[in-house]
Homo-oligomer: A and B are copies of this chain.
Amino acid sequence: MIQGLAVVKKSERLADGIYSIWLDTEIAKTAMPGQFVMVNTHSDAHLLGRPISISDIRKEAGQIRLVFRVVGYGSRELSEAKVGDSFELMGPMGNGFPVDKLSPETKVLLMGGGIGAPPLLGLANKLKKYGVEQVSAVLGYRGETGGLFLAEDFKKFANVYIATDDGSSGTHGTVVDAVRENDIQADIIFACGPMPMLSAIKKLAAEKGISAYISLEERMACGVGACLGCVVKTKKVDGHSHVNNSRICTEGPVFEAEEVEI
């Protein structure tokens, strides 16, 4: 893990309030899909790093991609970044998605809701390289107002299904509705998105008896496991904390759904 300046190489608007930037950073060397970085703002009044998932990685070029929604000060600053600007980054952080257990035969289902989709893109990319062939991706969006950002990119790596809140594209409903509607089969689910969606996926996975790995979010201060700010309640006593709380930034952000109380 390192902390240092990363230089903006490309910056684009993907949809209303959704931006993508590629950054030059040494973090790319060791980064894995599902990990994240903490991005510092340039303001002395906003001192906590902003956790943003690594959406894609170009190891050789030494670049990572961040895709994010503008919600407040830090993400707005990042959205205004111009090529050549630099941001202080710490990372890579967290465990990432457990891809080692996969074999070429594994049926993988990626489920991403809104700004939860981007982190799965890097994973989809990597699955391809690993030789995993049966990859479905169910992407949930608000609908007309938000755009189907990155959906096209996923098509390179997966059978893509869409769910929208307003029914303007694909299934009218949630990503879980889309799985049922299309009767999508899977051995393993990787998911990222808002908490209600992750809860629903946890239920779906339990019901279908398949394992699901979900990426969680929580307010973070350090990102390295030092402050104990970002915990999630766990079924078993956590090996590090010795209580039923795991640090999302360190033991996560990706957890097996049945292990966490959400």
List chain B residues, Cβ under 8 A from A43: 43-45
- Asked if A236 is at the interface (CB within 8 A of a chain B CB), the reply is no
Q: Which of A31-81 contact B (CB under 8 A)?
A: 43-46
Residues of chain A at interface, number, CB under 8 A = 4
Tell me the interface secondary structure of chain A in the complex.
Answer: loop
How distant is the Cα of A45 from the Cα of B43 in the complex, in angstroms? 7
Q: Report the minimal beta-carbon distance from A85 to chain B, rounded to whole angstroms.
A: 14
How distant is the Cα of A46 from the Cα of B42 in the complex, in angstroms? 13
List chain B residues, Cβ under 8 A from A44: 43-46
List chain B residues, Cβ under 8 A from A46: 44
Q: Report the minimal beta-carbon distance from A255 to chain B, rounded to whole angstroms.
A: 35
Q: Report the minimal beta-carbon distance from A17 to chain B, rounded to whole angstroms.
A: 22
Q: Report the minimal beta-carbon distance from A2 to chain B, rounded to whole angstroms.
A: 26
Q: Report the minimal beta-carbon distance from A44 to chain B, rounded to whole angstroms.
A: 3
Closest to A42 in B: B43
How distant is the Cα of A45 from the Cα of B44 in the complex, in angstroms? 5
Cβ proximity bits A129-167 to B, threshold 8 Å, 1 near / 0 not = 000000000000000000000000000000000000000
Q: Report the minimal beta-carbon distance from A72 to chain B, rounded to whole angstroms.
A: 13
How distant is the Cα of A183 from the Cα of B169 in the complex, in angstroms? 88
Closest to A46 in B: B44
Can you name 7 A-B pairs with beta carbons within 8 Å? A43-B43, A43-B44, A43-B45, A44-B44, A44-B45, A44-B46, A45-B45
The 7 A-B residue pairs with the shortest CB-CB distance, nearest first, are: A44-B45, A45-B45, A43-B44, A43-B43, A43-B45, A44-B46, A44-B44
